[in-house]
Amino acid sequence: MLNETHDPELRSWVASANLAGADFPIQNLPFGVFRRQASNEQWRIGVAIGSDILDLSQVAEHFSDLDHATLAACRASNLNQLMSLTPVIWHSIRVQLSRMLRQGSGLQAALEPLLLAQDEAEMALPAAIGDYTDFYASIFHATNIGSMFRPDNPLLPNYKYVPIGYHGRASSIRVSGTQVKRPHGQTKAPDAAAPSFGPCRLLDYELELGFWVGQGNQLGQPISIEQAEDHVFGVCLLNDWSARDIQAWEYQPLGPFLAKNFISSISPWVVTLEALAPYRCPAFERPADDPAPLAYLDSPANRSAGGLDVVLEVSLQTANMREAGQAAEVLSLGNFRDMYWTFGQMLTHHASNGCNLQPGDLLGSGTISGPSKDSRGCLMELTWRGQEPIQLSNGEERRFLQAGDEVIIRGWCGTANGLKIGFGECRGVVLD
């Protein structure tokens, strides 16, 4: 639901928040965990506003009508306690932050000393991640990948009934900027009699969104589709790096394993669901001959506004481009509204068997791909398993990632008047 915090006419006394195209205007107010660079300061929660970070641990003294548990959550070293609270409390914090940061709020003199420039900050993972589940929610991605391996039967029959997912490795999730070491593993060439062990040769990225679980559920207690969004705190960018040659050998019969768990990268800022309210859209419109979702995955609200209109961009800068001072080149541009399953359906299905989700759990959307070639969310699709290499403007080509390549993912929601709700960046440079 829209409220005063979404007013596109709002302006902040933080001047950089009012610049056209800024990722973090006053209508956004995402949360992250930071400290001053090259310091031994304690990690603390911050709120992005323009090009600055507002220290939530210190601004908490200006809040009113919040209990001790909520104030303690604002002063914690990560977002887990805040995520465990209710949407009503999250809303109260957002409204008060918005009022404090607006032009004419009267608190500018008190709050300005609590700002730190983002380029002077070091960012950490927003929360301690207990569990990580990655879904496969794009029918375009699933069909493309299936076509490469099963041309006569690309989409398995369960796909249109079940939000497919697998449990990933939480311990190897890292914040944007962490370098990506090329993994080693077993691979088997088509003409080889046996597999061999060595470095991955088909290293790929996957463009995804991550959904942070807020309030959890008790073991054995499902979460209904009507309640699902009350259990989602916010959204981040996610790159689920993938070793395609290792994956091809190991994934049958139990699915992804070492090809996926060597590292996954996330953006440091968590954009709340409330900030995204103006950008909700209908769930994916299924073709008339597709089955309707089963009753537990269906609701009028999910059909009318279960989707998110989030633009997602992937860029690549090679080592040669960086050395020559050449900017990264855009490889693809997609949109989360093209996903077959909504994030509410993913969460509901995850808990439908009584699985207990916890504050700080992370749910990945799976690769976000659209219907056109320039909206495909990984190199596996863009180069069609390496058969159609990408030609870069400096003469280089790429089938899969090479040493020194930096993948940059950006995401944003935009409106006709130029207001932008951004997610920041998710970056990673490949090492050998």
Whether residues 66 and 120 fall in one domain: yes
Give domain status of residue 211, yes or no: yes
Q: Which of 94, 124, 154 is the last residue of a domain?
A: 124
What's the pLDDT tens digit per position in 370-405?
Answer: 999 999 999 999 999 999 999 999 999 999 999 999
Q: What CATH number is attached to the domain comprising 29?
A: 2.30.30.230
DSSP per-residue string spanning 1-68: ---GGG-TT--BSSGGGGSTT-SS-TTT--EEEEEETT--PPPEEEEEETTEEEEHHHHGGG--S--H
Once rounded to an integer, what is the mean pLDDT over residues 54-66?
94
Residue 314: phi and psi, rounded to 5, are: -120, 130
% of the chain at pLDDT higher than 90: 95
Q: Give the pLDDT confidence score for residue 149 in this predicted structure.
A: 85
pLDDT band at 92 (very low <50, low <70, confident <90, very high): very high
What's the pLDDT tens digit per position in 296-312?
Answer: 999 999 999 999 999 99
Q: Give the pLDDT confidence score for residue 197 in this predicted structure.
A: 98
Q: Give the pLDDT confidence score for residue 32 in this predicted structure.
A: 98
Q: Give the pLDDT confidence score for residue 1 in this predicted structure.
A: 86
**For all residues of the chain together, what is the average pLDDT?**
97
For residues 25 and 241, give the distance between their C-alpha atoms in angstroms, rounded to a whole number: 30
Residues labelled catalytic: 141
Whether residues 162 and 305 fall in one domain: yes
Evaluated on CA atoms 32, 36, 38, 44, the torsion sign reads negative
Q: Give the pLDDT confidence score for residue 320 in this predicted structure.
A: 98
In our burial notation (b when 16+ CB lie closer than 10 A, e otherwise), range 168-191 reads bbbeebbbbebebebbebebeeee
Residue 375 tokens, joined: 């909206």
**Domain extent at residue 78:** 15-124
Residue 254 has pLDDT above 90, yes or no: no
Name which residue leads in pLDDT, 275 or 255: 275
Q: Give the pLDDT confidence score for residue 133 in this predicted structure.
A: 98
Residue 101 has pLDDT above 70, yes or no: yes
Whether residues 270 and 380 fall in one domain: yes
> Residue 297 carries which side chain, given as an amino acid letter?
L
What's the pLDDT tens digit per position in 280-291?
Answer: 999 999 999 999
> Residue 233 carries which side chain, given as an amino acid letter?
F
pTM exceeds cut of 0.85: yes
Report whether 388 belongs to an annotated binding site. Answer: no
Whether residues 191 and 47 fall in one domain: no
For residues 293 and 140, give the distance between their C-alpha atoms in angstroms, rounded to a whole number: 18
Report whether 251 belongs to an annotated binding site. Answer: yes
Report whether 264 belongs to an annotated binding site. Answer: yes
Q: Give the pLDDT confidence score for residue 60 in this predicted structure.
A: 92
Largest CA distance in the chain: 74
Whether residues 245 and 393 fall in one domain: yes
Once rounded to an integer, what is the mean pLDDT over residues 209-235?
98
Residue 52 and residue 29 in contact, taking contact as beta carbons nearer than 8 Å: no
Residue 320: phi and psi, rounded to 5, are: -65, -40
Residue 260 and residue 173 in contact, taking contact as beta carbons nearer than 8 Å: no
Whether residues 100 and 200 fall in one domain: no
Give domain status of residue 7, yes or no: no
Q: Which of 124, 148, 172 is the last residue of a domain?
A: 124
Look at strands 242-243 and 165-167 and give their pairing.
unpaired
Residue 347 has pLDDT above 90, yes or no: yes
Report whether 150 belongs to an annotated binding site. Answer: yes
How far apart, in Å, are the Cα atoms of 72 and each of 61, 82, 178?
11, 9, 30
How far apart, in Å, are the Cα atoms of 141 and each of 159, 365, 380?
12, 12, 10
Residue 345 and residue 306 in contact, taking contact as beta carbons nearer than 8 Å: yes
For residues 170 and 294, give the distance between their C-alpha atoms in angstroms, rounded to a whole number: 30
Triad 183, 333, 228: Cα angle to 5°: 80
Q: Which residue has the tokens 């029918």?
A: 139
Whether residues 175 and 70 fall in one domain: no
pLDDT band at 335 (very low <50, low <70, confident <90, very high): very high
Residue 417 has pLDDT above 70, yes or no: no
Give domain status of residue 6, yes or no: no
Could you give the number of structural domains in the chain? 2
For residues 31 and 59, give the distance between their C-alpha atoms in angstroms, rounded to a whole number: 13
DSSP per-residue string spanning 271-322: EETTTTGGGEEPPP---TTSPPPPGGG--HHHHHH-EE--EEEEEEE-HHHH
Give domain status of residue 377, yes or no: yes
Report whether 247 belongs to an annotated binding site. Answer: yes
Residue 416 has pLDDT above 70, yes or no: no
Whether residues 84 and 220 fall in one domain: no
Which residue(s) pair with 313 in the sheet? 333, 410
Whether residues 91 and 154 fall in one domain: no
Q: Which residue has the tokens 């463009």?
A: 207
Give domain status of residue 8, yes or no: no
Whether residues 322 and 243 fall in one domain: yes
Report whether 136 belongs to an annotated binding site. Answer: yes
Give domain status of residue 378, yes or no: yes
Q: Give the pLDDT confidence score for residue 431 in this predicted structure.
A: 97
Residue 284 tokens, joined: 């994916």
Whether residues 51 and 189 fall in one domain: no
Report whether 206 belongs to an annotated binding site. Answer: yes
Whether residues 156 and 75 fall in one domain: no
Q: Residue 402's CB: how many other CB atoms inside 10 A?
A: 15
What's the pLDDT tens digit per position in 147-205?
Answer: 998 888 899 999 999 999 999 999 999 999 999 999 999 999 989 999 999 999 999 99
Q: Which of 91, 124, 157 is the last residue of a domain?
A: 124
Give domain status of residue 246, yes or no: yes
Q: Is the peptide bond before 282 cis (omega within 30 degrees of 0)?
A: no
% of the chain at pLDDT higher than 70: 99
Residue 146 has pLDDT above 70, yes or no: yes
Which residue(s) pair with 421 in the sheet? 413
Residue 14 has pLDDT above 80, yes or no: yes
Q: Residue 107's CB: how many other CB atoms inside 10 A?
A: 16
For residues 29 and 45, give the distance between their C-alpha atoms in angstroms, rounded to a whole number: 12
Report whether 260 belongs to an annotated binding site. Answer: yes
CA 86 from chain center: how many Å?
22
Residue 295 burial (C-beta neighbours within 10 Å; 0-12, 13-18, 19+): exposed
Give domain status of residue 397, yes or no: yes
Evaluated on CA atoms 332, 337, 339, 345, the torsion sign reads positive
Residue 21 has pLDDT above 70, yes or no: yes
Q: What CATH number is attached to the domain comprising 262?
A: 3.90.850.10
